Amino acid sequence: MTTTEPTIESIARAADLLRAGKLVGMPTETVYGLAADAANEAAVAQIFRAKGRPADHPLIVHLGDPEQLLVWAAAVPKDAIALARAFWPGPLTMILPKADAVSALVTGGQPTVGLRMPNHPVALALLRDFGGGLAAPSANRFGRISPTTAAHVETELGDQVAMVLDGGDCQVGIESTILDLTGATPTILRPGAIGADAVGEIIGRRPMLREERPDAATVPRVSGALPAHYAPATAMRLLPLSALLSAAADCSGRRCAVLARASMPAGFEGIWLRAPHSAEAYARALYADLRALDEAGCRRILVEAPPAGEAWRAIRDRLDRAAQGAGEADST
């Protein structure tokens, strides 16, 4: 695998690799993606093998121009057009009926497809040079912590990727909002940086959340919606601050690694990362912080539960799933 600075020449080489059916690590504003030609089934199949991803877990197709919606979707409602004008390029994925030519391998066998236009200059330059859609889930082993630097991709996938374009640290830091527009009621299936209120301002009505739907079991399957995801290998607990401080006080030596917005208490001997206080900055640092704690050699990770409120919804979602999927505690 080659990690390279993005230049006109290196982006052209990456596009050529994609045309040849290879995998390329692509920076976006959310996380680094493992990109393949979405119209090439053999290339898409490599994504599933490299990640260890279940075949029924659909991929998001990344576009370099909003007009490509008409290529990948069988129908584009007026809400989708309005949202693309408002938020593309940006961290919003829209679920739409798939065009006939879209492979069932991309959609996990469903009649719907997830589409977005990333807001990163390197990703957009690559997409425009390539000229088509790129399937690009997060460039990590399935279910584990998403990568937000080129170095994370190299650590996760090594020689399974032909090239990684180093676009620096991801500026949003968590995956895109996924909005289902295939039914009568627009529904957010995965929260992200673009919240329900922002969507509602554009389409004239607030979308429902998946958990608000009485028929939630019937909505399309989407990336990152399994109960366990984004997870460290180290056991992890999500706790209110008072419970976290009590649990940290019971740790001796380097048994605990902590992520908290609070200051480290006197006498604590483990690893303590001070998390940012704003939701935007917290999200940007979240996966890098979880990786650092996971690599610290401690027996468990303790994370202060984030505040309530719409601004923190996506962060709470990622932390809940990370705790569900984390390794078991070392009791020795």
pLDDT classification of 327: cutoffs 50, 70, 90: confident
What are the domain boundaries of the chain? 2-218, 235-325
Strand order in the sheet with 271-274: 235-239, 300-304, 256-260, 271-274
| pLDDT for position 115 | 98
Question: What digits encode the pLDDT tens for the residues 36-86?
Answer: 999 999 999 999 999 999 999 999 999 999 999 999 999 999 999 999 999
The percentage of the chain sitting over the pLDDT mark of 70, rounded to a whole number, equals 98
What fold does the segment set 235-325 form as a domain? Rossmann fold (3.40.50)
Q: Within 13 Å of residue 56, how many CA atoms lie on the same side as its CB? A: 4
Residue carrying structure tokens 């082993």: 141
Question: What digits encode the pLDDT tens for the residues 156-200?
Answer: 998 899 999 999 999 999 999 999 999 999 999 999 999 999 999
| pLDDT for position 329 | 55
Question: What digits encode the pLDDT tens for the residues 222-255?
Answer: 998 889 999 999 999 999 999 999 999 888 776 8
Q: Which residues pair with 113 in a beta bridge?
A: 96
The CA distance from 53 to 216, in Å, is: 23
Q: Per-residue pLDDT for 119 more than 60? A: yes
Main-chain phi, psi angles of 122, to 5 degrees: -70, -45
Q: What is the mean pLDDT of residues 122-144?
A: 97
| pLDDT for position 331 | 45
2-218 in CATH: which number? 3.90.870.10
pTM of the model: 0.96
71 close to 99: Cβ distance less than 8 angstroms: yes
The CA distance from 152 to 140, in Å, is: 8
Residue carrying structure tokens 């303790």: 302
| pLDDT for position 159 | 87
